Structure 1
Amino acid sequence: MIVSFDIGGTAIKGGIARSETDIAPLARRPTPKDDFAAFVAVLGDVIAEAGETPDCISLSIAGVVDPDSQALTCANIPCIHGRRLAADLEQKLKLPVLIANDADCFAMAEAMTGAGRGHRIVFGAILGTGVGGGLVADGRLVNAAGGFAGEWGHGPIIAPFAGTPAVAIPAYACGCGQKGCVDTVGGARGLERLHQTVNGVTLGSEEIIDLWLKGDEAAARTLDVYTDLVAPPLALAINITGATIVPVGGGLSNVPKLLAKLDVAVRARILRKFDRPLVVPSECRVEPGLIGAALLGLRYAEDISDAA
Structure 2
Amino acid sequence: MRIGIDLGGTKTEGVVLGAGSRVLARRRVPTPPDDYDAALRIIVELVAQLEADVGRRGLPVGAGTPGARSKRSGRMKNCNSTCLNGRPLLEDLEARLGARVRIANDADCLTLSEAHDGAAAGARCVFGAILGTGVGGGIAVDGTLLSGPNAIAGEWGHNPLPWPRPEWDEVPGPLGWDGRYGSIEVWCCGPGLALDHERVNGVYLRGEEIVAAAAAGDAAAEATLQRWEDRLARAFASIINVLDPDVIVVGGGLSKIERLYRNVPQRWGSWVFSDSVDTRLVPALHGDASGVRGAAWLWPDPDA
Is TM-score (shorter-chain normalized) higher than 0.5?
yes
Give 1:34 shift: 4.6
Question: Where does 1:272-287 land on structure 2 (aligned, <5 Å)?
Answer: 272=274, 278-287=280-289
Partner SS, residue 157 of structure 1: coil
1:76 matched to 2:77: no
Structure 2 match to 1:169? 170
* Amino acid across the alignment from 1:18: G
- Whether the 8 Å CA contact 1:263–1:280 is kept in 2: the answer is no
Is 2:93 aligned against 1:89? yes
- Tell me by how many angstroms 1:285 deviates: 1.8
Gap change, CA 1:25 and 1:239, over 3 Å in 2: farther
User: What is the CA-CA distance between 1:200 and the residue it aligns to?
Assistant: 3.9
Instruction: Give the direction of change, closer, same or farther, for the CA distance of 1:67–1:19 in structure 2 (3 Å limit).
Output: farther
Q: Secondary structure at the match of 1:26?
A: strand
Normalised by the length of structure 2, the TM-score is 0.86
Q: Shift in Å at residue 122 of structure 1?
A: 0.6
8 Å CA contact 2:3–2:47 kept in 1: the answer is no
Structure 2: gaps of 5 or more residues:
none
Match in the other structure for 1:233: 235
C-alpha distance in structure 2 between counterparts of 1:240 and 1:175, whole Å = 26
Pairwise CA distance, 1:245: 0.8
- For 1:27, the aligned partner's letter is R
| Secondary structure class of the residue paired with 2:224 | helix
Task: Please give the alpha-carbon distance, in whole angstroms, between the structure 2 residues aligned to 1:153 and 1:77.
Answer: 17
CA contact (8 A) 1:13 1:25 kept: no
Q: Secondary structure at the match of 1:298?
A: coil
Contact 1:130 1:187 in 2 (8 A): yes
- TM-score, normalization by structure 1: 0.85
Counterpart residue type for residue 223 of structure 1 = L
Deviation of 1:167 after TM superposition, in Å, equals 2.9
**CA separation of 1:260 and 1:2: change in aligned 2, threshold 3 A:** same
- The 2-side partners of 1:6 and 1:114 are apart by 17
Give, in angstroms, the shift of residue 205 of structure 1.
Answer: 2.0
Identity of aligned residues (%): 33
Q: Which amino acid aligns with 2:121?
A: R
**CA gap 1:284/1:273 in 2 versus in 1, 3 angstroms:** farther
Quote the residue 2:63 is aligned against: 59
2:157 match: secondary structure: coil
Measured on the aligned residues, the alpha-carbon RMSD in Å equals 2.7
After TM superposition, the structure 1 = structure 2 runs for residues 144-183 of structure 1, keeping only pairs within 5 Å, are 147-161=151-165, 166-170=167-171, 171-183=173-185
Q: Which residue of 2 aligns with 1:25?
A: 25
Pick from 222, 227, 246 the counterpart of residue 220 of structure 1: 222
Deviating more after overlay: 247-256 vs 3-12: 3-12
Q: Which residue of 1 aligns with 2:48?
A: 45
Partner SS for 1:180:
coil
Provide Cα deviations, 1:102-137, integer angstroms capped at 9, x if missing partner: 111111111111110111011111121232111111
Aligned-pair CA distance for 1:236: 1.0
Contact residue 259 and residue 279 of structure 1 kept, 8 A: yes
Deviation at 1:246, TM superposition (A): 0.8
Deviates more, 1:136-145 or 1:248-257: 136-145
Residues 64 and 146 in structure 1, CA contact (< 8 A), matched pair in contact too: no
Per-residue CA deviation, residues 247-271 of structure 1 (Å, 9 max, x unaligned), is 1112222121133111211244323
Cα 1:48–1:220, aligned 2, differ >3 Å: closer, same or farther?
A: closer
Which shifted more, 92-101 or 273-282? 273-282
Q: What is the match of residue 207 of structure 1?
A: 209
Please report how far the alpha carbon of residue 221 of structure 1 lies from its aligned counterpart in structure 2 after TM superposition. 2.2
Residue equivalent to 1:265: 267
The whole-number CA distance in structure 2 between the counterparts of 1:215 and 1:275 is 31
Does the residue aligned with 1:291 lie in a helix, a strand or coil?
helix
Q: Give the C-alpha shift of residue 146 in structure 1.
A: 7.4
Amino acid at match of 1:84: P
Pick the aligned partner of 2:127 from 123, 127, 130.
123
Contact 1:125 1:248 in 2 (8 A): yes
- Give the paired residue count: 298
In the alignment, is the contact (CA less than 8 A) between 1:19 and 1:298 conserved in 2? no
